[in-house]
Amino acid sequence: MSAKDGKVVTVVATLGHGDKTQEISYTDIKVIGNGSFGVVYQACLCDTNEIVAVKKVLQDRRFKNRELQIMRSLDHQNIVKLKYFFYVMGERKEDVYLNLVLEFVPETVYRVARRYTRQKETIPMIFAKLYMYQLFRSLAYIHSKGICHRDIKPQNLLLDPSTGVLKLCDFGSAKVLIQGEPNVSYICSRYYRAPELIFGAVNYTCQIDVWSAGCVFAELLLGQPIFPGESGVDQLVEIIKVLGTPSHEQIRDMNPDYREFKFPQIKAHPWPKVFRAHTSPEAIQLVAKLLDYTATKRLRPLEACLHPFFDELRQEGVTLPDKTPLPPLFNFRSDEIQANPEIIAKLIPTYLSSQVPGTDAPLEDGSGSGGGVGDRRSSLLESVVTPSATTVRETATGPTPQISEVPLSTTEENAATRSRHSSGRRSPETQQQS
């Protein structure tokens, strides 16, 4: 794919949602990312002058592309939008490339956090609240559809600095998890891998995303990864330094097939001592509820949104430091409400719900942006959302599990920094599963 010197590329593409095809033209193409998955370009749509990202991946003709199937099933303000997709032939006649045309979002949590770290500052707490709340909203949405992202990390959290909106991206590792069906454990980027993955579990749940989100949150508070490691064993050591040695029961919960229990007995490090002085007690409490060895004891995404740490976002009149209004945070869609009616009823601030006289009146978000949610706070209990995304099988077999290692490839972003902190921990290097 090339369009240097203002040349225009024209293709027939399918809409991200629906089966309608149309001719699209784009220009000003430049590479903005690459890895084992393929290449990401930035381009400009000629008809609208809209900037988009085009993710180009080699398509295996034998299978449907799982990322495409999942992205076509998603529609949420905190998830990057699939606008079009199309296929092109490679240089070899047997090669076919899938191109995903996505909305372009200019920043990432990774880059924003790094800028604060370089200045020896931590990210302002209002931004930590805003970013984590929106991440949990996106996770609640995909988890309600049975979809596990399996690669939550700061690099995959896109930010629009002009609005404060966060969008989850890169569903190349995502999968619909079906109870009883095994899944590969060599998934998720280093530093953000849940302990059950390190223990080689193949029957994990969507709660591995919650662990990863907890690692992202802790990193925002610390200014550096909380559990770095050069290998699976090394990373497990870092986790044990903080959480203490897992009990036999906790190890069985993580992976019933794991038989090696030879770990030194180390006591848990008090959470307040893990973080800097004056770190919000509510923030520390939330981290502790996300980073638990036992997946079922971790908060679920919307339960995390209810945590007192986010209460400031629910106060009337709160703005960003530059007085910019907060982005819509309470404009829950009908499918979000149907999936978690009781929790969402608690999430809507009193000052908003009290403004709605009728049960079906539209609810404004309080940030100046309208949000389409009715105030039917208790009448939606009978409705539920069922998983609908296409399932693509993957096999996971092997002998008695050992500590799981992850194949790694360094990306341009992740190699940019090698700073060490007091315990000699390194800055993140991550892998992208093909």
- Measured distance CA(290)–CA(207) in Å, rounded: 9
Beta-carbon contacts of residue 198 (< 8 Å; ≥ 6 apart):
232, 235, 236, 239, 403, 404
CA-wise closest residue to 215 among 197, 191, 250, 241: 191
| Angle made by CA atoms 152, 384, 196, in degrees to the nearest 5 | 30
Of 95, 151, 160, 234, the catalytic one is: 151
Residue type, 285: Q
Q: Which residues are annotated as a binding site?
A: 56
- At CB < 8 A and 24+ separation, what contacts does 10-13 make? 11/86, 11/88, 11/99, 12/86, 13/84, 13/85, 13/86, 13/99, 13/101
Residue 422 has a CB neighbour count (10 Å cut-off) of: 6
- Measured distance CA(242)–CA(263) in Å, rounded: 14
Q: Which residues are annotated as a binding site for ATP?
A: 56
Quick one: how far is CA 310 from the chain centroid?
18
Helix axes 281-290, 207-222, angle to 10 degrees: 150
Catalytic site residue 151?
yes
Residue 133 has a CB neighbour count (10 Å cut-off) of: 23
Catalytic residues: 151
